[in-house]
């Protein structure tokens, strides 16, 4: 695969790092939420928030990269509707990578629990404490997350489908497999 068909090393690194962090933050969010109040619950909430803010930071870098770079073109032979669907899904994924942590941050502010990143860096509260708003934002955070889950399934499904069934080297675009010399 030519270099031109591959995302840059920075984009690839950000893609997998963000994916990994989301794969930790998501189940953690679902799990911690159900726990009865305990010191462990408080710890998990903090870890979740720290990981989420890390995603926000990396996603901000990633979106700025994307706005200043053109991704490698899709291989020939991909149907037009699939090209449109792919760019729509990618756009929404970028949006959610930002909107989910921001909604979490807003929710935490509204619930009156500031985010202190890694226990050392206090982030400003974005809104005043307000119980109703906190509950509303928790619902928003959840809805955005389950939208993300649906899109990620589509995204992974499409990549695997093109790679294994369409027999196009899709996974190499994001750095899987050997780098071919050009």
| Residues making contact with ligand HEM (CB under 6 A) | 22, 25-26, 29-30, 33, 45, 48-49, 52-53, 55, 100-101, 104-105, 107-108, 115, 138, 141-142, 145
- Residue placing its CB nearer to ligand HEM in the complex, 33 or 179: 33
What is the nearest approach in angstroms of ligand HEM to the Cβ of residue 123?
8
59's tokens: 């996603």
What is the nearest approach in angstroms of ligand HEM to the Cβ of residue 160?
21
Q: Cβ–Cβ contacts within 10 Å for residue 80, how many? A: 7
**Close Cβ partners of 93 (under 8 Å, ≥ 6 residues apart):** 148, 151, 152, 155
What is the nearest approach in angstroms of ligand HEM to the Cβ of residue 147?
11
Residue 106 near which of other proteins, ligand HEM, none (CB within 5-8 Å, type-dependent): none
Helices within the chain (DSSP H only): 9-34, 39-68, 80-111, 131-160, 170-173
């Amino acid at each position: 695969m030519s270099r031109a068909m591959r995302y840059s090393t920075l984009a690839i690194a950000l893609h997998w790092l963000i994916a990994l962090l989301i794969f930790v933050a998501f189940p953690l969010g679902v799990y911690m939420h159900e726990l009865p109040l305990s010191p462990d619950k408080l710890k998990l909430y903090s870890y979740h928030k720290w990981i989420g803010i890390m995603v926000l930071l990396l996603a901000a870098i990633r979106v700025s990269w994307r706005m200043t770079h053109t991704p490698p073109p899709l291989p020939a032979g991909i149907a037009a509707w699939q090209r449109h669907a792919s760019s729509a899904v990618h756009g929404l994924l970028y949006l959610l990578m930002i909107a989910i942590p921001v909604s979490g941050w807003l929710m935490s502010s509204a619930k009156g629990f500031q985010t202190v990143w890694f226990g050392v860096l206090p982030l400003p509260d974005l809104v005043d404490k307000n119980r109703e708003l906190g509950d509303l934002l928790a619902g928003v955070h959840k809805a955005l997350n389950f939208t993300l889950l649906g899109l990620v399934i589509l995204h992974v499904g499409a990549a695997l489908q093109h790679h294994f069934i369409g027999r196009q080297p899709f996974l190499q675009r994001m750095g899987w497999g050997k780098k071919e010399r050009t």
